[in-house]
Structure formats: C-alpha cells, structure tokens
Amino acid sequence: MAGTKVKLEKELYQRVKEFSNKAGYSSIDEFVSHVLEEAVGSLEPAEDEEVVKQRLQGLGYLK
C-alpha cells in the first residue's frame, strides 16, 4: 500500500473498520481504496456510446 495517509474522525473510522471486517476485506486500507475507486469512478463521465460501438466493432462483437 502507498504511504499516503488520510485522517478520519474516530466514529467514521470505527464504522469503516466494522464494515470492512463484515465485507471480508483483508484490511481497512483495502476497503477504503475499493470504496474510493468506486466513488471516483461513478463521478467520471461515461464513455460516448459511439466510442463503445467502435471498440466493440473492432473486437468483432458488432458488425
């Protein structure tokens, strides 16, 4: 894991710890990284439909 640190309030840290354990993550760091990746990914603009079609055609999935 990278050496970057993030400060969390104690109550939030306890909730994160509880959920990461329940979800089966090997560490709190792993859980937080996954949640942040999902959150940031949902904020990124979706690919243009035409770009996706061209990519699928290039792969032979569409004619």
Summarize pLDDT for 18-37 with one digit per residue, the tens.
Answer: 999 999 999 999 999 999 99
Look at residue 2 and tell me if it is in a domain: no
Look at residue 5 and tell me if it is in a domain: no
The total number of structural domains that make up the chain: 1
Look at residue 17 and tell me if it is in a domain: yes
In angstroms, what CA-CA distances link 52 with 11, 37, 39, 48? 42, 22, 22, 7
pLDDT of amino acid 25: 97
Residue 14: domain span: 10-58
- Per-residue pLDDT band at 9 (split at 50, 70, 90): very high
Neighbouring C-alpha atoms within 13 Å toward the C-beta of 12:
5
Look at residue 3 and tell me if it is in a domain: no
Which residue reads 């055609």 in tokens? Answer: 57
Q: Comparing 43 with 38, which gets the higher pLDDT?
A: 38
Look at residue 63 and tell me if it is in a domain: no
**10-23 vs 28-43: helix crossing angle, rounded to 10:** 100
Look at residue 46 and tell me if it is in a domain: yes
